[in-house]
Structure 1
Amino acid sequence: MSGTADTVRWRQPDGAPIGCREKLRVLDDNHAELLQVMRDAFDDAILMGVDEDAMRAVLADAVRSLRSPKRG
């Protein structure tokens, strides 16, 4: 596993780890890309004068608003 994989544990709903290397690669790549996009958005907002706590709340709200594709 690469980079962030050491700190991220990809688990199935039953708690078992994801074992497929290709799935792990995709998950790790998505995680790294997401972190970079979030970092860029956060930095831009702060440099444009947005309050840090307010921007953190916007990002947290975005995560909370995600709906599972399994629930239709």
Structure 2
Amino acid sequence: MESQKLWVQEDGQPVSCQEKLRVLDENWLEVQDILRDAFEDAVLMGVSEQGMRARLTDLVASLTSPHQGKKA
């Protein structure tokens, strides 16, 4: 997995704040490491690769926005 090259805002414009970019890149690397470790552990313990990929995909699909429920 490689780091995302561009972080895009809701309006389609790239994030340009260097501090935000640093945090986003650090978080992305951390997520990659955790998911890779969880995937490898599951497969080594006998979980099918396809099954684990499906669970990870479901996890991502179930994430809710922190903006949900907030009034604009």
Q: Scaled by the length of structure 2, what TM-score is found?
A: 0.90
Q: Does 1:28 align with 2:25?
A: yes
Larger relative CO (CA 8 A, sep 6+): 1 or 2?
1
Task: Look up the equivalent residue of 2:33 and give its one-letter code.
Answer: Q
Point out the structure with the larger helix share. Answer: 1
Q: Percent identity?
A: 54
Instruction: Say which SS state the counterpart of residue 69 (structure 1) adopts.
Output: coil
Aligned length: 68
Structure 1 residue runs of 5 or longer lacking an equivalent are none
Structure 2 residue runs of 5 or longer lacking an equivalent are none
Runs (4 or more) in structure 1 with deviation over 6 Å come to: none
* RMSD across aligned positions (CA): 1.2
Task: Look up the equivalent residue of 1:21 and give its one-letter code.
Answer: Q
Q: Does 1:16 align with 2:16?
A: no
In the TM superposition, residue 13 of structure 1 has moved relative to its aligned partner by 0.3
- Residues 10-66 of structure 1: CA distance to partner in whole angstroms, max 9, x if unpaired? 011010000000000000000000000000000000000000000000000000000
Q: Distance in 2 between matches of 1:56 and 1:47?
A: 14
In the TM superposition, residue 9 of structure 1 has moved relative to its aligned partner by 1.4
Q: Which residue of 1 is the match for residue 35 of structure 2? A: 38
Q: Which residue of 1 is the match for residue 48 of structure 2? A: 51
